[in-house]
Amino acid sequence: MKDSFGRTIDYLRVSVTDRCNLRCVYCMPEEGVESIPHSQILTFDEIHALCAFMARYGLKKIKITGGEPLVRKGIPNLIAQLKSIPGISSVTITTNGVLLDSYYHPLVEAGVDCITVSLDTLSREKYQALTRRDQLDAVLRGIHLAQEENLVKLKINAVPTAPLDGDEVIRLAQFAQNHDTDVRFIEVMPIGMGTQFQAVGENQVRSILEERFGPMTICHEVRGNGPSVYYSLDGFLGKIGFISAVSHKFCDTCNRVRLTADGYLKTCLQYDTGVMLRPYLRDWDEAGLFDALTRGIQAKPKGHHFEAHEEFTDREHRKMSQIGG
């Protein structure tokens, strides 16, 4: 599948639920968001049918995300289903880690290719302030289990927010010191609640890490699904990555589209441009689905305009928890 700018689309991020057991300040309002009614949520069979269809046209990689994907029952079953699709080379999951210790082995048995845990701080007070829940111990249990067992690749995603705490950056990076765990720093994006935060630039984080651990050298091997740039640090088993959509725009190489839990194919994070696929999945209509997919992908915008502050009409109205990151 190619869009109208010649970019190959081979990566689908599937949000399996818009519900979450945390309320991260840059993602979801304290009171939560009105949930999509159950009747409108895609079933696992519908998700599988769509992915199998897209795989015929070049889909290779799938990310399971949310809301919090592990609050939906049976996610390992879905992963096993998706793993069996010919042409799909990678099925990964991004989770807040709260339920990871009980799901780690089922996810591994299902064949997941990578588990990414989102964690922004190791301070219990800060974690509570950021996520509005007291779940740091549960997340750390999951991460330690995953590091000890080491049965599948583990990554940690951190979204630093201003004012930047250098010690925190160092402690998070240390997850990559003695284990082959990659730690990635993500700039907060002005989507939904994120508009109220200022991105902490990659350069700021890098200089803290270089001052403490020495020079970082760029790593050219492919380590993920997309735009993260990875660096090696002397003595570290894992890599340090940066996903810097604000300071280092990477739209020219964008390879992804997103599916919301109710079946909307979103083609760019910043805009609500896309196409509703649920009707074609619910009453299987292959010709209609092909036409809708083609239309959606052809209309994928050239890029975001995070840097522009003026309003525009097709700005995304969903919160990040309804998109999946």
What residue ranges bind ligand SF4 (CB under 6 A)? 20, 22-24, 27-28, 66-68, 96, 118, 320-321
Using the rule CB under 6 A, is 157 a contact of ligand SAM? Answer: yes
State which of positions 175-194 bind ligand SAM (CB under 6 A): 186, 188-189, 191, 194
Nearest to 118 by CA among 99, 145, 91: 99
Q: Are 44 and 73 in contact (CB under 8 A)?
A: no
Q: How buried is 147 (Cβ within 10 angstroms: 0-12 exposed, 13-18 middle, 19+ buried)?
A: middle
Cα–Cα distance measured from residue 325 to residue 27, given in angstroms and rounded to the nearest whole number:
9
Binds ligand SAM by CB under 6 A, chosen from 66, 224, 274, 296: 66
**Residue 322 is which amino acid?**
Q
- For 110, the token pair is 């299902």
**CB closer to ligand SAM, 2 vs 141:** 141
**Least gap, CB of 224 to ligand SF4 (angstroms):** 18
Which of the stretches 3-11, 64-72, 84-92, 162-170 binds ligand SAM when contact is defined by CB under 6 A? 64-72
- For 275, the token pair is 């196409």
The full length of the chain comes to 325
Using the rule CB under 6 A, is 325 a contact of ligand SAM? Answer: yes
Sheet holding 229-233, edge to edge: 216-219, 229-233, 240-243, 182-186, 153-158, 114-118, 90-95, 61-65, 11-15, 256-259, 264-266, 274-276
State which of positions 110-129 bind ligand SAM (CB under 6 A): 118
The residue whose Cβ lies closest to ligand SAM is: 194
Using the rule CB under 6 A, is 228 a contact of ligand SAM? Answer: no
Using the rule CB under 6 A, is 268 a contact of ligand SAM? Answer: no
Exposure of 179 in the CB half-sphere (CA atoms within 13 A): 21
**CB closer to ligand SAM, 94 vs 267:** 94
**CB closer to ligand SF4, 154 vs 209:** 154
Looking only at the bridges linking them, the beta strands covering 216-219 and 182-186 are unpaired
Using the rule CB under 6 A, is 236 a contact of ligand SAM? Answer: no
**Least gap, CB of 285 to ligand SAM (angstroms):** 30
Nearest to 50 by CA among 23, 89, 95, 13: 13
Tell me which of ligand SF4, ligand SAM, none is bound by residue 189, counting a contact when its beta carbon lies within the kind-specific cut-off of 5 to 8 angstroms. ligand SAM
Beta strands in 122-266 (DSSP E): 153-158, 182-186, 216-219, 229-233, 240-243, 256-259, 264-266
Nearest to 163 by CA among 139, 198, 193, 128: 198
**CB closer to ligand SF4, 27 vs 251:** 27
Tell me which of ligand SAM, ligand SF4, none is bound by residue 154, counting a contact when its beta carbon lies within the kind-specific cut-off of 5 to 8 angstroms. none
Number of residues that bind ligand SAM (CB under 6 A): 22
Phi, psi of 28, rounded to the nearest 5 degrees: -140, 140
**Least gap, CB of 98 to ligand SAM (angstroms):** 9
Using the rule CB under 6 A, is 324 a contact of ligand SAM? Answer: yes
**Least gap, CB of 246 to ligand SAM (angstroms):** 9
- For 295, the token pair is 């239309």
The residues binding ligand SAM (CB under 6 A) are 20, 26-27, 65-68, 94-96, 118, 157, 159, 186, 188-189, 191, 194, 320-321, 324-325
